[in-house]
Structures are given as C-alpha cells and as structure tokens.
Amino acid sequence: MMTMSSINTTEEISAQPTKGPARRWRDIALLGVLFAFVIAGLVGLAAATGWEETKHQLMQLTLLQIVILLALSLVNYLFRGARWHLFSNRLGLPTTLIQDLRHFLGGFAMSVTPGRVGELIRMRWLKRETGWAVERTAPLVLMDRASDLAAMALILAGGIALSAGGIAMAMPVALLALVAAFIATRPKLLAGCVTLLYRTVGKFPRLMARVRTAARSLSVFSSGPIMAAALALGLIGWIAEGYAFHLLLMWMGADIGFAKAIAIFTFSTLAGGLTGAPGGVGGAEAAMVALLSLEGIPLEVSIPATAVIRLTTLWFAILIGVAVFPMAERISKKAIAV
C-alpha cells in the first residue's frame, strides 16, 4: 500500500549511490530471516496440531499442481506488469514493454521492505535509462498501488456478496482500500490532502512540494479508457491468484467455493499489507489460517494450504525479482554510460 514513507524514499533513491555488496548481502539476509520466520511459525503450528496429517496434505500435491499454481501467479505478475507499461506510456516515458516488465519484475526483489518502499528502486532504473527525475515518475507508483487497491477491493466485495456468510471486517477493509485508491487517483484531492498535511505538521516542505507536483501529474491517467484498462488488468491478475487458492483448497479436500476462497485470499493479503510488515509477512498468514478455521477447515489443512499459497505467490514473486534484479541493475548502469 502506498504510504508517505514510500514517497519519502524517492528522495533517498535519487540521492544514494548504487548498493554495494555489503548492502546487497544484508537485503538477502533479511529475505532469509523473514522466510525462516514464516516457515518456523507454520511448522510450529503444524507440529502442535499433528505433523503427520499436515505432511499427508502436502504430499498429496503433485508437481503438475504446483506448476499450475505458479503459472497462475505468473499471470498476475505479467498482467500487472502490462498495466505498469500502460501507465508508463501514458505518462510519456520512452520505454518498451520488455523494459517495463524488467523494471516491474525486478522490483519484486524488494517486496519485503516495510510498506514495500524498496520497490521504488524501479524509479531509479527509470532515471538512469530515461533521464526522468524521480518526481516525474512518482505518479507511476501512485497509480500502480491505487490500481491494486481498487482491484482487490472490488474482488473482496464481490467475493463477500457471492459467498454464503461474510468475513468480519471485510467490508470496512474493502471500503478503506477503495477510498485510498480514489484519493490517490484524484490529482486535486490528493494535492489538497498533502497541503492539509503540511499545514498540520509544518515539516518537510521540499518533500511536500514534490508530492504535490507528482499529484498534479496524475491528471494524464484520468481518462476513462485508461482507468478501465488498468482496472481490467488488475482484476485479471488478482483473480488468477485467488483462483489458485481455490484450486489448492479443492485439491486438499477443503472446497469452500470460489467466492469464499478468493474473498479469504484477498482479505488476508490486504490485512497483511495494513500491518506494515515487510510483504505483509506474519499478518497475512495469521489472517488466512484464522479465516479458514472459521470455515470449519482443520489446522492440518489450513496450515499447509496457507504455506503453499504464500510460497507460490509472495515468495515466488520475490524469487523472480531476485533473478531479474541484477540484470535490471546492469542494464540501467550501461544506459548511464551511454
């Protein structure tokens, strides 16, 4: 979710030198620690509730099924990457589809930074390759996050409406996401909120001015066809991952229906993001296990289902990002030399 800390980081990106080996290894260590933390927590729950049953559920999954889950996640990343390209072209950036996909996927390597602010590395790559200042490309980040919020809020609301029984706090979360998306995509409203914030805190005048400048640039995205296309791409992407969760539950013998499955997946993802934890780690998993348990699914099923879907979504994205990141760095550095 887009926060003021995310915007603040744009100044740091433009000012700091390229990461050295020590900094890069520190980030890799952070990834490892977070991954170990999640796995340890889930393993602990599995051991407390019956490891043999949990192991049995995991062993039932075939290689083909795992490939299907990963393929559906890839659909999400590619469609959202296409949306990033749509926004880039609309903003006037001279970038190609392959170039934008490289930036978008490479940014996943930084998904586990608090509030996902590390994904703003994409703006540094854009500055190197196009010469555009961070302030000029900041609207891309705002629109990307706002589009995700809007798509996920609509999916969550639709899932609740179509499923039997609701999810506590689901509608408030969906409404909050929609409100945030609405504000982030309205130039005058966003600029007014920034002005009000500055008058309240009276600090960071340079930062506030940059945010207002970025807010005014959002007007280029306000056309109906652009917003409709962006929303469609986001909906397809996130529904693909929700469908993967539905398939996983069916394969584990816990079919709760597509609507309820996608509602639980979307709510857990949003709830994890609201905690501010890197990648929503911890919060998303806890919400998913709790909601599945409320549906009557035993822990020996809900725990492995949560572990598998998080591995094939969040951690698969991070793995792709780690693979693409060095290439994106190398190509962007060459662009500076040219």
What is the 3 state secondary structure string of the chain? Answer: CCCHHHHHHHHHHHHCCCCCHHHHHHHHHHHHHHHHHHHHHHHHHHHHHCHHHHHHHHHHCCHHHHHHHHHHHHHHHHHHHHHHHHHHHHHCCCCCHHHHHHHHHHHHHHCCCHHHHHHHHHHHHHHHHHCCCHHHHHHHHHHHHHHHHHHHHHHHHHHHHHCCCCCCCHHHHHHHHHHHHHHHCCHHHHHHHHHHHHHHHCCCHHHHHHHHHHHHHHHHHCCHHHHHHHHHHHHHHHHHHHHHHHHHHHHCCCCCCHHHHHHHHHHHHHHHHHCCCHHHCCHHHHHHHHHHHHCCCCHHHHHHHHHHHHHCCHHHHHHHHHHHHHHHHHHHHHHHHC
Residue 266 lies in a domain: yes
Cα within 13 Å of Cα(321), Cβ side: 23
The residues of the chain scoring below 50 in pLDDT are: 1-19
Residue 7 lies in a domain: no
Task: Please give the pLDDT value at position 4.
Answer: 37
Residue matched to tokens 């099924």: 65
What six digits make up the tokens of 249?
């539950």
Contact 146, 161 (CB under 8 A): no
- Residue 129: phi and psi, rounded to 5, are -90, -25
Contact 80, 104 (CB under 8 A): yes
Least Cα distance to 277 among 108, 111, 141, 87 occurs for 111
Residue 53 lies in a domain: no
What six digits make up the tokens of 155?
């999916």
Residue 2 lies in a domain: no
- Burial (0-12, 13-18, 19+ Cβ within 10 Å), 20: exposed
Provide the sign of the torsion angle of the four alpha carbons 242, 247, 251, 254, taken in this order.
positive
Least Cα distance to 125 among 141, 114, 143 occurs for 141
Q: Which amino acid is residue 304, in one-letter code?
A: P
What six digits make up the tokens of 126?
């854009």
Contact 98, 113 (CB under 8 A): no
Task: Please give the pLDDT value at position 230.
Answer: 92
Residue 281 lies in a domain: yes
Residue 41 lies in a domain: no
Q: Let me know the angle formed at the C-alpha of 2 by 157 and 112, rounded to the nearest 5 degrees.
A: 100
Residue 5 lies in a domain: no
The model's pTM is: 0.78
Structural domain count, the chain? 1
Task: Please give the pLDDT value at position 160.
Answer: 83
Least Cα distance to 153 among 28, 318, 1 occurs for 1
Task: Please give the pLDDT value at position 149.
Answer: 87
Q: Let me know the angle formed at the C-alpha of 234 by 231 and 240, rounded to the nearest 5 degrees.
A: 140
Range of the domain at 208: 61-337
Cα within 13 Å of Cα(316), Cβ side: 20
Residue 28 lies in a domain: no
